[in-house]
Structure 1
Amino acid sequence: MKNFKEISLPDLSHTTLSMAYPSGQKTLPESGIVLAADVGGTKTELALFQIKKKKLVAIKSERYATTDHNSFVKAIQHFHEDKTSVIDCACLGVAGPVDGDKVRGVNFAWEIDAKKLEADLEIKKVLLINDLQANAYGLSALKASDFETISKGEKSEGNAVVISPGTGLGEAGMYWDGAYYHPYATEGGHSNFAPGNELDLELWKFLHHKFNHVSWERVISGQGINNIYDFLRNYRGEKEPGWLTEQLKGDSPSKVISSAAIEKKDSVCVETMQLFLKYLAVESSQLALKAKATSAIYIGGGIPPKILSLIDKKEFYKNFINVGRMEHLLKTIPIKVVLNDKTALMGAAYYAAMGILK
């Protein structure tokens, strides 16, 4: 299989974070086959897991560009064309607001209908959750080596949050009931971007003219990197180097910009990433305050692990705690970057396995 990496997930009683599931069960079932999916704006990852001896073991995995198929049904049919295993339950973590048994992606054109998938693909049960909710569930399977710590904070029980810049900006909460976390989805990435100084205000004006509504996703995402770069190139009045113009014609301008910043090849690219990280720190603190996330804030998504060398931890922390009277609270919150790009897939696998029990 393309991109296959063996994944073995422990029983829930041996995970690092205790999660609550709708079934109310605390351990994995004795047996079963589950399909897990991480459906994003850029890529879709599918994996088939078998429950063996209270562990989830991946037996098949594949990654596609989301645009490779014109529907999710086609993607699964291609992935599971041999139908050698009967799927007991599937969980799809999807980048979009889930409405009961349906979801339409924000950054891709598919509409996914769980009941239709059950019928078309002969799957016993299909569950839909937001991709950030899947990310939150997947945190329970991670090891210490799967994190890069920005600030240790203080060990404290309480709520946690996840913020994940990638194709878009995902945000989720994790309510702590005293024994278990209850992950829940939000669409906080689409809330209003708030300028904090004159430069931010000029950026807001630039983006307001272009998009009308300026959300945090417009500045903290792959497209956000492009937006900040376009603004700064215009605002600073610096001519774009020819080599950069050519590279930006490719499929991933944000990757070109971040790479140029890492290599310090262009001052506007460097400033672009500095602003991106500043806004990530600011919105992380806003999310932490709104959820009173005293346990931790987890920074996931496809971008942060790739730009670790650009993260000035002291500068990030300074921007994170710059909230006036609540600075003392934010100083206690651990800030961790999630390095494992399988987190959402693992969370969907757990959710599907626990769905067998309902």
Structure 2
Amino acid sequence: MVQHLALDVGGTKTHIALLSKTGHSPIAFIKEKKYHTQQVAGLEEVLLDFSPDMSNIESISIALAGPVINDEAQLTNVSWKVQKDQIIKATGVKSIYLMNDLEASAFGVPFMKSSDLLTFYKAENRMKGNAAIISPGTGLGEAGMYWDGNDFHPFASEGGHCDFSPRDNTDVNLLIFLQHRFGRVSWERLVSGMGIANIFDFLRTSSEYQLDKDMELSLLDGDVAANLSKAAVAGEHIAVATMDLFTRYLAIESANLVLKFKATGGLFIGGGIIPKIWNDHYESLFLQYFFRGGRLEPLLRSVDLTIILNPKSVLFGAAHFGITKGGKTKDI
């Protein structure tokens, strides 16, 4: 049986799967494994540990959290450098596909089941057109899907690294705070897991929040973003403020992305954060800020807004790309 490998390589984890597909049947996941990216020397080590025998592997499709240029990629939030020719040399597999992780997700969206997607805003006057994907995780990924009138053509972007744009005094003070830390401040510094931690660090310098020392230590112990989202549910004042600002910034940058791509075909929100925290409060807050588009508000209101619930969306898209050798997507 001909088999394929697909990988989702992120700053935190690397997810790899062995797959097969016969005729018109769905892609079948045979086996999967997750690795801690920071604890592995490189991608070749992951591939050979997972599948020492590559004789039945027809293709390897690799979705990477970083720009892919000339069949090479330097991951943004980890020191790995991935090169197509080195993977061919290590594995003996000739068909190697490298792509940006959000580009991979875009290839998979049209083939997902309805249960994998949650449309929380459905436009009354939806129009055909380009679509956009934004994905806050370890970092912030953004991609587009060009609509040619019949099919979607996904393309990568590095829009998450564009400059953060403040709107009010809180935003300006936050920008100055992060400029002292990072110099240049991109949207990724706010709309991501690291962004949640950065917002919290800013807010706890304010006299407005009297944070108990034990609570502060508990929030800083381990995964700060996860701790804060749980504390927000429990009503901890600073955690609520942190997650509200995160949601506000996600909404603003989502609207920016829709306007830049004229994404009347829909906005999709992926990543590991939003499906875990989403509730009526965050939905209301997101819509409040997303629709603040000035003269272009009617365009924003014509866009369906959908959360990608499937945590394997990137892996699934990479698998589809590799198996079909970059075949077209379809209408959503």
Band the TM-score falls in, shorter-chain normalisation: over 0.9
1:236: how far off? 3.7
1:307: how far off? 0.7
Given that 1:41 and 1:105 are in contact with CA atoms closer than 8 Å, whether structure 2 keeps it comes out as yes
Equivalent position amino acid for 2:93 in 1:
I
Given that 2:67 and 2:75 are in contact with CA atoms closer than 8 Å, whether structure 1 keeps it comes out as yes
Gaps of 5+ in 1: 1-30
1:251: how far off? 2.7
The reply to whether residue 45 of structure 1 matches residue 15 of structure 2 is yes
The reply to whether residue 173 of structure 1 matches residue 124 of structure 2 is no
The whole-number CA distance in structure 2 between the counterparts of 1:39 and 1:222 is 16
The reply to whether residue 337 of structure 1 matches residue 307 of structure 2 is yes
Change (3 A) 1:356 1:339: closer
Given that 1:262 and 1:309 are in contact with CA atoms closer than 8 Å, whether structure 2 keeps it comes out as no
1:243: how far off? 3.2
Partner of 1:15: none
1:141: how far off? 2.2
Equivalent position amino acid for 2:44 in 1:
V
2:70 to 91, 100, 125: 100
Partner of 2:325: 355
Given that 1:295 and 1:333 are in contact with CA atoms closer than 8 Å, whether structure 2 keeps it comes out as yes
1:233: how far off? 1.0
What does the per-residue CA deviation read over 1:236-257, in whole Å, with 9 as the maximum and x for residues that have no partner?
A: 4433223323323433111111
User: Which aligned pairs between 1:91-240 and structure 2 lie closer than 5 A?
Assistant: 91-153=61-123, 154-240=125-211
The whole-number CA distance in structure 1 between the counterparts of 2:271 and 2:140 is 8
Equivalent position amino acid for 1:328 in 2:
P
2:287 to 306, 309, 317: 317
TM-align CA RMSD: 1.6
The whole-number CA distance in structure 2 between the counterparts of 1:312 and 1:109 is 34
What does the per-residue CA deviation read over 1:89-138, in whole Å, with 9 as the maximum and x for residues that have no partner?
A: 11100000101211010011110111110111111211100000011111
Given that 1:43 and 1:65 are in contact with CA atoms closer than 8 Å, whether structure 2 keeps it comes out as yes
Equivalent position amino acid for 2:251 in 1:
A
Given that 1:49 and 1:349 are in contact with CA atoms closer than 8 Å, whether structure 2 keeps it comes out as yes
Q: Which range moves more in the overlay, 248-257 or 319-328? A: 248-257
2:216 to 239, 245, 251: 245
The whole-number CA distance in structure 2 between the counterparts of 1:211 and 1:168 is 15
1:226: how far off? 0.5
Given that 1:262 and 1:310 are in contact with CA atoms closer than 8 Å, whether structure 2 keeps it comes out as no
1:85: how far off? 5.0
1:149: how far off? 2.2
Instruction: Name the SS of the counterpart of 1:248 in structure 2.
Output: helix
Given that 1:97 and 1:105 are in contact with CA atoms closer than 8 Å, whether structure 2 keeps it comes out as yes
Change (3 A) 1:41 1:174: same
The whole-number CA distance in structure 2 between the counterparts of 1:91 and 1:236 is 50
1:300: how far off? 0.4
Given that 1:151 and 1:313 are in contact with CA atoms closer than 8 Å, whether structure 2 keeps it comes out as no
Report the TM-score, using the length of structure 1 for normalisation.
Answer: 0.87
User: Which aligned pairs between 1:267-286 and structure 2 lie closer than 5 A?
Assistant: 267-286=237-256
Given that 2:54 and 2:91 are in contact with CA atoms closer than 8 Å, whether structure 1 keeps it comes out as no
The whole-number CA distance in structure 2 between the counterparts of 1:243 and 1:85 is 55
Given that 2:133 and 2:144 are in contact with CA atoms closer than 8 Å, whether structure 1 keeps it comes out as yes
Instruction: Name the SS of the counterpart of 1:123 in structure 2.
Output: coil
Q: Which range moves more in the overlay, 293-302 or 313-322? A: 313-322
Given that 2:244 and 2:285 are in contact with CA atoms closer than 8 Å, whether structure 1 keeps it comes out as no
The reply to whether residue 255 of structure 1 matches residue 255 of structure 2 is no
**Identity over aligned residues, as a percent?**
40
Given that 2:188 and 2:195 are in contact with CA atoms closer than 8 Å, whether structure 1 keeps it comes out as yes
User: Which aligned pairs between 1:292-311 and structure 2 lie closer than 5 A?
Assistant: 292-309=262-279, 311=281
Given that 2:130 and 2:147 are in contact with CA atoms closer than 8 Å, whether structure 1 keeps it comes out as yes
**Runs of 4+ in structure 1 displaced over 4 angstroms?**
none
Report the TM-score, using the length of structure 2 for normalisation.
Answer: 0.94
Partner of 2:330: none
The whole-number CA distance in structure 2 between the counterparts of 1:69 and 1:226 is 25
The whole-number CA distance in structure 1 between the counterparts of 2:92 and 2:326 is 15
The whole-number CA distance in structure 2 between the counterparts of 1:262 and 1:85 is 50
Change (3 A) 1:259 1:89: same
Equivalent position amino acid for 1:239 in 2:
Q
Given that 1:161 and 1:288 are in contact with CA atoms closer than 8 Å, whether structure 2 keeps it comes out as yes
Given that 2:143 and 2:157 are in contact with CA atoms closer than 8 Å, whether structure 1 keeps it comes out as yes
What does the per-residue CA deviation read over 1:24-69, in whole Å, with 9 as the maximum and x for residues that have no partner?
A: xxxxxxx732110000111110011112233321111111111231
